[in-house]
């Protein structure tokens, strides 16, 4: 009976989306598409593989084809080889009509070489694409031009997860200042918050990538205290974050944690998976995260039945403040070699825009009604998460949508803690600090950026562990400057001066 119901639901969905096909728009997003005879538009798409490759012409794919009136043919490439394969395809000119690209120096070069359509001037003609926060598009711009539609992700994911039961037992508040952080971490480490009579807890733990990229613990805490996100622009000049006072004060706090054994002493080589196990086993009390706190709560109570996890926004002495993230998992671009006319470009953009209509947004986020979810009035109830992970997730992870934040009518049934985490993430967008160099070009960064980053992150670790003092830290900064840091800053300054101002 269940199989019949699911099959009928799939038929109903396919029938309903067919009513939205043909030459006439459903009113949501095909304004830019040229009129034609209603024949499905042949559209080839290349994206990265997510899990197992879905069965060809499965019900999810059929629904997408029917609603968008396309003969959609998807090629899935394994994630591990994706960028390499795409680079070969670009070099050979063997490209589909729509392709997922990742924002990196090689792709930036291809975009500058006029191999892909600039779609920025057309976005205003597509209701769904035009409705999204401009920052999403700015984060994939090249020379101020937009060449693709982002696979949208939150612009600011940082939140503070903490053991509320421990905080309540010790009379603690969520920290804001660096002094607050010191006092909280010290109390959670030394004051036996789990009341087992043993010195076996950590307030905060670090792993070996604690200072790498914008989603690292060091970056998130430093930005909350007033540090820039990667670079500070002053009078057009670019100043690296790690030379600013708020950043160095945060580093000194980490050194104090290390000196007083308030954090794990092997943090420089500690794997994130091992750190997660400590938090999930109920032996650590606070951390920065981009994940949903309900997941931590579910794992905690299996080990500590009375454990209570909670989530709070990242706040510093001046209020909420967190580093902005790229806001995408790549973007969909249109090659000029396979889409040769403006009229055909508009067909491709109409397809992408329709994917964000309510019917398609619901399909990508939840799946097929009756198989993956059911309507419960004010909310929807997941039916088969395992099937959804196999049948829906490959499309959800590689096609544009905004989760339940855009054009999805009803929320899925979730706990209050899950919703609280979602709310923090959604509100974060108003408090992000952007990286002013994110879309600027630097030959030095393209050639030696990773090497320069490694040089300075290694020096941070040496300082925290006491292998160098403040004078030694300043000497490492000078080495970085001479090795290409100053050249990179100058190139960013020049690129910034050339860039069109909003």
Segment 390-398 mean pLDDT? 93
Percent of the chain at pLDDT > 70 equals: 92
> Is a pLDDT exceeding 60 seen at residue 24?
no
**What distance in Å separates the CA atoms of residue 486 and residue 478, rounded to the nearest whole number?**
9
Position 322 confidence tier, pLDDT thresholds 50, 70, 90: very high
Q: Are 432 and 322 in contact (CB under 8 A)?
A: yes
* C-alpha distances out from residue 358 to 25, 355, 404, 409, Å: 13, 8, 10, 7
Q: Which pLDDT score, from 0 to 100, does residue 394 have? A: 93
pTM: predicted TM-score of the whole model, two decimal places: 0.79
Across the chain, mean pLDDT equals 90
Backbone angle region of 236, left / alpha / beta, with phi > 0 → left and psi within -120 to 50 → alpha: left
What is the C-alpha separation between 202 and 218, in angstroms, rounded? 17
Question: What band does 36 get if pLDDT is binned at 50, 70 and 90?
Answer: low
Q: Residue 124: which region, alpha, beta or left (left: phi > 0; alpha: psi -120 to 50)?
A: alpha
């Amino acid at each position: 009976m269940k199989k019949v119901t699911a099959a009928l639901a799939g038929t109903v969905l396919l029938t309903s989306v067919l009513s939205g096909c043909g030459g006439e728009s459903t009113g949501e997003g095909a304004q830019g598409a040229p009129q034609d005879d209603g024949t499905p538009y042949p559209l080839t798409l290349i994206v990265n593989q997510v899990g197992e490759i879905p069965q060809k012409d499965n019900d999810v794919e059929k629904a997408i084809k029917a609603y968008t009136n396309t003969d959609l043919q998807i090629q899935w490439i394994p994630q591990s080889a994706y960028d390499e394969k795409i680079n070969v395809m670009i070099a050979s000119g063997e490209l589909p009509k729509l392709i997922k690209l990742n924002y990196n120096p090689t792709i930036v070069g291809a975009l500058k070489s006029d191999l892909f359509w600039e779609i920025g001037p057309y976005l205003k003609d597509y209701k769904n694409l035009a409705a999204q926060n401009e920052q999403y598009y700015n984060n994939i711009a090249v020379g101020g031009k937009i060449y693709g539609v982002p696979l949208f992700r939150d612009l600011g994911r940082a939140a503070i997860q903490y053991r509320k039961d421990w905080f309540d037992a010790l009379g603690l508040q969520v920290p804001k200042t660096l002094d607050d952080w010191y006092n909280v971490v010290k109390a959670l480490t030394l004051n036996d918050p789990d009341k087992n009579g043993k010195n076996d807890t950590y307030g905060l733990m670090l792993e070996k990538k604690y200072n790498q990229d914008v989603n690292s613990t060091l970056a998130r805490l430093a930005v909350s205290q007033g540090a820039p996100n990667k670079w500070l622009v002053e009078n057009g000049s670019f100043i690296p974050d790690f030379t600013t006072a708020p950043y160095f004060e945060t580093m000194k706090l980490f050194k104090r944690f290390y000196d007083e054994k308030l954090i794990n002493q092997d943090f420089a080589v500690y794997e994130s998976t091992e750190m997660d196990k400590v938090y999930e086993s109920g032996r650590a009390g606070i951390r920065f995260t981009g994940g949903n706190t309900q997941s931590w709560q579910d794992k905690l109570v299996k080990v500590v039945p009375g454990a209570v996890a909670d989530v709070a926004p990242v706040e510093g002495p001046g209020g909420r403040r967190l580093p902005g993230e790229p806001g995408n998992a790549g973007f969909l671009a249109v090659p000029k070699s396979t889409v040769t006319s403006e009229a055909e470009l508009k067909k491709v953009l109409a397809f992408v825009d329709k994917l964000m209509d309510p019917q398609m947004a619901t399909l990508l986020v939840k799946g097929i009604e009756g198989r993956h979810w059911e309507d419960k009035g004010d909310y929807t109830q997941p039916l088969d998460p395992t099937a959804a992970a196999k049948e829906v997730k490959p499309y959800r992870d590689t096609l544009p949508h905004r989760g339940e934040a855009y054009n999805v009518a009803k929320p899925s049934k979730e706990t209050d803690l899950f919703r609280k985490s979602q709310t923090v993430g959604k509100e974060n967008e108003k408090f992000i600090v952007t990286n002013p160099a994110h879309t600027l070009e630097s030959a030095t960064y393209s050639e030696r950026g990773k090497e320069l980053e490694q040089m300075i992150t290694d020096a941070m670790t040496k300082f925290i562990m006491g292998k160098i003092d403040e004078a030694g830290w300043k000497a490492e900064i000078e080495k970085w400057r001479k090795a290409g840091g100053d050249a990179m800053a100058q190139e960013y300054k020049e690129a910034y001066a050339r860039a069109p101002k909003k």
